[in-house]
Amino acid sequence: MRVAVIGVGPRGLSVLERVISHTSLPGPPIELLLIEPNELGVGVHDIRQPDYLLLNTIVAQLTIFSDGHMAPGAPVTPGPSLYQWCHEHHGPVEFDDFLPRRLLGEYLQWAARVLLARVPPRLTVRHLPTAARHVRPATTGAVVTLADGTAHAVDLAVVTTGHGLADTEPPPLGAFVETPYPLPARTDGIVEGTTVALLGSGLTAMDVIAALTVGRGGAFDDHGYIPSGREPRIVLTNRARSLPRARPRTSQDRVAAPARYFTPAAIAALRHHAPGGLLDFRRHVEPLIRREAISRMGKPTAGEIAVVDQALSLEPVTWRTYEEYRDATLAAARADLVEAERGLGVSAVKDALEVLRDHRESLRAAVDPPGLTEESHRYFAHEYVPLVNRAVVGPQKERVHELLALVAAGVLTLGPGPGPALEPVGDRWALTSTRLGQPRRIEVDAVVRANLTWPSPDDARDPVGSSLRSWIAVDDGRSHRLTLDRDGYAIPREGGAPVPIAVFGPPAEGASYYNHYVPSPGMWSRALTDLDRVLGPTLAPAVPVPSPLLRRP
């Protein structure tokens, strides 16, 4: 039996861990091909990146190993979490620290070596240090073609290519920077003293802001921001009526409250009565989310309910003047920071919105096959997912403090209202308001796209994704999602049975929901359970596989 893992970043490393776990039990010989042009496990967490690029998950919530809570009923490979590893290798850290991403890269690098040292006797592992270009089904199994022209026949191909290959070509001066990563290299051409617009205000934008400020010698202290003089002027734009909400303070022993209304069982019941089992997200699912959120608030004030309703609303707002928009947006950010500092268990607003994180599995239940109607799926992917990101997958509260300090220092300003129009003007760019009563226009020297979405077709950076999209993609006009069954297997566009090519992680986004994360220790893991659904029967047929209906305890 030959299994290929295509792309061995964090999710591919989880495949290696699950294969080692399963092959620690008796069974036939297995050959595992790890197809990865770079160092195993690291992915986008380059160990050479600067310390100002931070993880957006607290250190205590990340591990590459497994335990009985993460993968109930399946074999596991125990090992230290990132939190434990940091204590051993870098000294004390707090459980809720947001560490530099390079430290996660070092941990993944170390974990890959540890896992390879634990390979059981019946497992043979080969690292093929080149990129894959094509993967396609064969008469039996699949064929993977590499950049060096070699082709490998396998019984099962597991695609975990993450966000694709790195874009290392620097953009020309004054150009539209389509992809800001890797930082700071992609923004080095933005000249100090010029004006740059960032399209988007979420996590990617926060990285770009850090690269253009702290990365250029600026510093924050208790009084605000101290410029270095090497910064450009930054214009921050977004399509929503508010900035992303800050991540709230939490406690080490916090356990999410069980859902009352927004549950996979409730989703299943709605699906039972929907034509073809296809749900309408706005009509079926959003009312459950709001009911669950409000139920968490105890005895909320009318103002608190209004804040939650605004965070969960996609209704557009038009402002009379730019000044009204700017002042209201910054005031809302300051008020949200107060709630973030109060934290979970204290702030009724943050507790209500955390439903979208705590019960992500219920969102997945709505998207999993048979899923949503086609129109509703487009709405969910392109409108509601960004809303969820703004509400609960926002930046650390410290980043929002810094953003406000940059505004006070005159380094950063808000763009001309939500969703401004962008057009070239000679060798510059113009941003023009679309939702202000009194029109406003701002000209800039450069533009950085900081609102990355997935899936997004990019043949150069994602050749394997391009190969898959040629025969298993649905084009909804704005993105190309792969057609996968509930187990992650590819389903040919022309129909027929699934083929032995399984896709996990960010490339599976759209076919399922929220796949770009590293598992957490001591908590049921959808990522590991999904891998077990494919690998368990393949590698150890005699071992029971967790039920497809298994949910977080």
Count of positions (residues) in the chain: 553
Asked if 160 contacts 8 with a C-beta cutoff of 8 angstroms, the reply is yes
CA distances to 10, 43, 128, 134, 464 from 150, in Å: 25, 23, 11, 11, 15
What's the structural domain count of the chain? 3
For residue 214, give the nearest of 199, 234, 235 by alpha carbon.
234
**What phi and psi, each to the nearest 5 degrees, are found at residue 312?**
-100, 10
> Tell me, what's the pLDDT at 260?
96
In a domain, 76, yes or no: no
64 within a domain of the structure (yes/no): no
Same-domain status, 330 and 419: no
- Kindly list the strands in the beta sheet with 142-146, ordered across the sheet, starting from the edge strand earlier in the chain: 132-137, 142-146, 151-154
Q: 3-state DSSP call for residue 500?
A: strand
194 and 269 housed in the same domain? no
Note the pLDDT of residue 191.
93
The token duo for 218 is 């600026």
What one-character-per-residue DSSP string does 295-340 give?
HTTSS--HHHHHHHHHHT------BSSHHHHHHHHHHHHHHHHHHH
Are 414 and 349 in the same domain? no
Out of 370, 392, 414, a domain closes at 392
Statement to judge: residues 459 and 534 lie in one domain:
yes
Domain match, 324 and 273 both:
yes
Q: Kindly state whether residue 292 falls inside one of the protein's structural domains.
A: yes
Low-confidence stretches of the chain (pLDDT < 70) are 167-168, 170-174, 453-457, 540-553
E-state strands within 489-537? 489-490, 499-503
Q: Which of 365, 355, 356, 353 is nearest to 279 (CA)?
A: 365
Q: Among 350, 367, 392, give the residue marking a domain's end.
A: 392
φ/ψ of 6, rounded to 5, equals -100, 105
Q: Are 188 and 179 in contact (CB under 8 A)?
A: no
The amino acid sitting at 511 is: A
Closest CA to 515 of 93, 524, 525, 373: 525
Q: Please, which residues have CB within 8 angstroms of residue 350's CB and are 6 or more apart in sequence?
A: 248, 339, 340, 342, 343, 344
Predicted confidence (pLDDT) per residue in 253-272, tens digit: 898 999 999 999 999 999 99
- Amino acid at the residue 475: D
Separate counts of helices (H) and strands (E) for the chain: 16, 21
Nearest to 310 by CA among 238, 387, 246, 382: 387
Q: What is the dihedral of CA 60, 66, 68, 74, to 10 degrees?
A: 150
Nearest to 19 by CA among 63, 70, 66: 66
Yes or no: say if 194 and 445 are a contact pair by the CB < 8 Å rule. yes
Q: Are residues 459 and 370 in the same domain?
A: no
Question: What's the pLDDT score for residue 97?
Answer: 96
Query: 209 near 406, Cβ under 8 Å?
Result: yes
Structure tokens at 530: 């999904």
150 and 39 together in one domain: yes
Query: What integer pLDDT is reported at residue 553 of this predicted model?
Result: 30
Q: What are phi and psi of 185, to 5 degrees?
A: -55, -40
The CATH number of residue 214's host domain is 3.50.50.60
Clarify whether residues 320 and 206 are in a common domain. Answer: no
- Same domain, yes or no: 353 and 425: no
| Alpha carbon distance 318, 436 (integer Å) | 6
Domain of 413 in residue numbering reads as 176-243+396-449
**Rounded CA gap, 549 and 528, in Å?**
14
Among 392, 411, 427, the domain-final residue is 392
Give the three-state DSSP class for 196.
strand
Q: How far is CA 387 from the centre of its chain?
A: 14
Q: Are 95 and 83 in contact (CB under 8 A)?
A: yes
Rounded (5°) CA angle 376-380-384: 135
Residues 429 and 363 in one domain: no
In a domain, 500, yes or no: yes
The answer to the question of residue 278 being in a domain is: yes
User: Do 381 and 400 have their domain in common?
Assistant: no
φ, ψ at 329 (rounded to 5°): -65, -45
Residue 92 lies inside a defined structural domain of this protein:
no
As a whole number of angstroms, the distance between CA 347 and CA 353 comes to 10
The reply to whether 85 falls in a domain is: no
Determine the 3-state secondary structure of 38 from DSSP. coil
Note whether 344 and 299 are same-domain residues: yes
Looking at residue 455, its pLDDT comes to: 60
pTM tops 0.85: yes
In this structure, is residue 464 part of a structural domain? yes
Tokens of residue 467, six digits: 């190969």
What is the distance between the alpha carbons of residues 252 and 366, in angstroms, rounded to a whole number? 30
Asked if 144 contacts 154 with a C-beta cutoff of 8 angstroms, the reply is yes
Residues 159, 61, 507: CA angle, nearest 5 degrees: 20
